[in-house]
């Protein structure tokens, strides 16, 4: 039975290869044996796709759809049902149609599946109604060796292994660092979460010995299935998209960021069957705005146009190894009723698992905008959402760093030396940060674009030290988009003082942090 469940399909008599039409049934697997049995009911109006087209099952659960060679047929999970999971908690919702198998490349591809079966049926399991739920969202895990894999397990996953608070998890690409042999060991560690894990294709998940973008995703598809797909929980419709476009240059590994015609077709055809009151959540590797050119990636306008008729939308990405937020309004060509919110979730690996090792042998891994490594938590209530950032192995209340001199001298004319800087990790242009000294009035802090002083200090230690640290040298600091600044009042009396910072996010939630300092003459 285990093997039947993992296959997630019923194969009957073989049709001639020329038929190239996939047919089958999406059904309630009442006895949970992975096979359609007499008396089991089909499920009407379930979406099935071949990666570009999307069709609905009829009133008895039957579907038919074109099945080009080297395509993947998959079902889009309805909100009230669940997929079977394999031993690694990977959802089993697809059939790979590769009659001759994938191309011969350095990294493993899909083995020959033979002619298209006469029947490809998908069993689903009844699930609980999910009006409110939480999802774990991981930016780049990016493990390049077994040591990195150990860091992932001990720094991130171990603390969550006993939690029952989350419905599913997603890795937003760069699952590995160009070492496909680490997919299965990583899947084993992720399976400790005991929830479904959905995965996104990233640039470091590509086969760079391939001669085209299409062939570069073969190993990802072997392990995880389609690169563009969708699923539903509650009143939220999630769309996973590959937005890394490989040039086919096997020497320089060049790629661009954007959405190809296959992704665009899938999104537009998928959304035809999604009710207008659903929250649409796009999950991708690269954010809509390139961090270097500060211009939209290829076909961002078309993706946004496809979802702008929906009143409730949100998107999330990884790739940049920084945490940031973008808002698309009329000035950006977005014509939705309210601005579209895009959240860049940073990276689980932080700065590629670099930095000084702590007493547990785990690297500091602070990202080069000063954000500690961690992950996002999405909380959904009906078709509304909130976003939280959870720092690895720290309490949920840890949402900012306050930088203030431990000693401030009143006769100092250095100015900048007496600045207070606050790095509010999820801060954006829509947030407000205020500070109060002791019981005085609150002052509004000013958002600035500069490097995080804490990270600059860490980096300088590596640059100036004559002895090697226990760890790996971190990358150079980069501009932080969520820093706030204020000059310490010069009329504070000598003695101990408290700085109390309040950050109000775009959801109206308030976060507080404190720091103490001493004033001397």
* Residue of 28, 6, 160 whose CA lies nearest to 87: 6
Tens of pLDDT, residue by residue over 319-376, are 999 999 999 999 888 998 899 999 999 999 999 999 989 999 999 999 999 999 999 9
pLDDT at residue number 366: 96
* Full DSSP string of 197-256: EEE---GGGS-TTSSSTTGGGHHHHHHH--SSEEEEETTEEEEEE--EEE---TTT--EE
What's the CA dihedral at 134, 138, 139, 142 to 10 degrees?
-170
**Residue ranges of the domains in the chain?**
2-125, 133-391, 400-520
pLDDT at residue number 466: 54
Which residues does 436 contact at the CB level (< 8 Å), separation at least 6? 442, 443, 499, 500, 502
pLDDT at residue number 467: 58
Q: Which CATH number describes the domain made up of 400-520?
A: 2.60.40.10
pLDDT at residue number 250: 84
Same CATH topology for 133-391 and 400-520: the answer is: no
pLDDT at residue number 418: 84
Q: Could you give the C-alpha distances from 271 to 237, 284, 303, 314, 346, in angstroms and in order?
A: 9, 17, 11, 15, 28
pLDDT at residue number 413: 60
Which residues does 484 contact at the CB level (< 8 Å), separation at least 6? 421, 422, 424, 427, 433, 445, 446, 447, 448
User: Hey, CA dihedral for 193, 196, 199, 205, is it positive or negative?
Assistant: positive
Predicted structure pTM score: 0.93
Give first-to-last CA distance, the chain, whole Å.
78
Q: Which CATH number describes the domain made up of 2-125?
A: 2.60.40.1120
* Full DSSP string of 377-410: EEEEETTEEEEEEEETTS-TT--EEEE--SEEET
Q: Which CATH number describes the domain made up of 133-391?
A: 3.60.21.10
**pLDDT beneath 70, residues of the chain:** 1-19, 411-417, 465-469
């Amino acid at each position: 039975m285990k093997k039947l469940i993992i296959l997630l399909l019923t194969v009957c008599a073989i049709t001639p290869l020329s038929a190239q039409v996939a047919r089958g049934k999406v059904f309630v697997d009442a006895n949970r044996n992975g096979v359609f049995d007499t008396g089991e009911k089909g499920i009407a109006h379930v979406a099935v796709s071949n990666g570009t087209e999307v069709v609905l099952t009829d009133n008895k659960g039957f579907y038919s759809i074109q099945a080009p060679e080297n395509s993947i047929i998959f079902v889009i999970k309805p909100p009230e049902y669940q997929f079977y999971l394999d031993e690694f908690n990977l959802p089993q919702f697809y059939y790979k149609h590769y009659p001759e198998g994938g191309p011969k490349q350095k990294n493993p591809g899909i083995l020959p599946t033979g002619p298209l079966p006469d029947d490809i049926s998908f069993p689903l399991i009844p699930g609980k109604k999910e009006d409110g739920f939480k999802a774990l969202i991981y930016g780049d895990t990016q493990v390049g060796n077994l040591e990195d894999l150990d860091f992932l397990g001990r720094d991130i996953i171990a603390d969550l292994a006993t939690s029952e608070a989350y419905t599913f998890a997603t890795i937003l690409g760069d699952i590995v660092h160009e070492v496909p042999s680490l997919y299965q060991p990583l899947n084993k560690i992720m399976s400790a979460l005991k929830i479904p894990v959905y995965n996104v294709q990233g640039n470091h998940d590509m086969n760079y010995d391939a001669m085209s973008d299409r062939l570069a995703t073969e190993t990802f598809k072997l392990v995880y299935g389609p690169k563009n797909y969708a699923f539903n929980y509650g009143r939220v419709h999630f769309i996973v998209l590959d937005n890394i476009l490989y040039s086919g240059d096997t020497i320089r590994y060049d790629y661009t960021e954007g959405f190809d015609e296959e992704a665009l077709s899938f999104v537009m055809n998928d959304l035809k069957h999604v009710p207008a009151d659903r929250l649409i959540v796009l999950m991708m590797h690269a954010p809509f705005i390139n961090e270097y050119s500060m211009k939209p990636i290829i076909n961002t306008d078309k993706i946004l146009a496809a979802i702008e008729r929906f009143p409730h939308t949100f998107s999330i990405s990884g790739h940049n190894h920084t945490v940031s937020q973008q808002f698309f309004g009329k000035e950006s060509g977005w014509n939705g009723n309210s601005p579209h919110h895009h959240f860049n979730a940073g990276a689980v690996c932080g700065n590629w698992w670099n930095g000084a090792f702590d007493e547990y042998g785990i690297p500091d891994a602070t990202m080069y905008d000063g954000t500690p490594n961690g992950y996002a938590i999405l909380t959904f209530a009906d078709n509304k959402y909130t976003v939280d950032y959870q720092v690895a192995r720290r309490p949920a209340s840890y949402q900012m760093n306050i930088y203030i001199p431990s000693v401030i001298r009143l006769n100092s004319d250095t100015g900048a030396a007496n600045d207070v800087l606050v790095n509010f990790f999820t801060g954006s242009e829509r947030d407000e940060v205020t500070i109060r000294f002791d019981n005085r009035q609150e002052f509004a802090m000013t958002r600035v674009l500069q490097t995080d002083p804490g990270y600059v200090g860490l980096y300088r230690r590596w640059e100036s030290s004559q002895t090697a640290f226990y760890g790996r040298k971190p990358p150079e600091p980069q501009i932080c988009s969520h820093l706030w600044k204020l000059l310490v009042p010069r009329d504070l009396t000598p003695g101990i003082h408290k700085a109390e910072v309040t950050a109000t996010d775009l959801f109206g939630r308030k976060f507080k942090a404190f720091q103490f300092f001493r004033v001397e003459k």
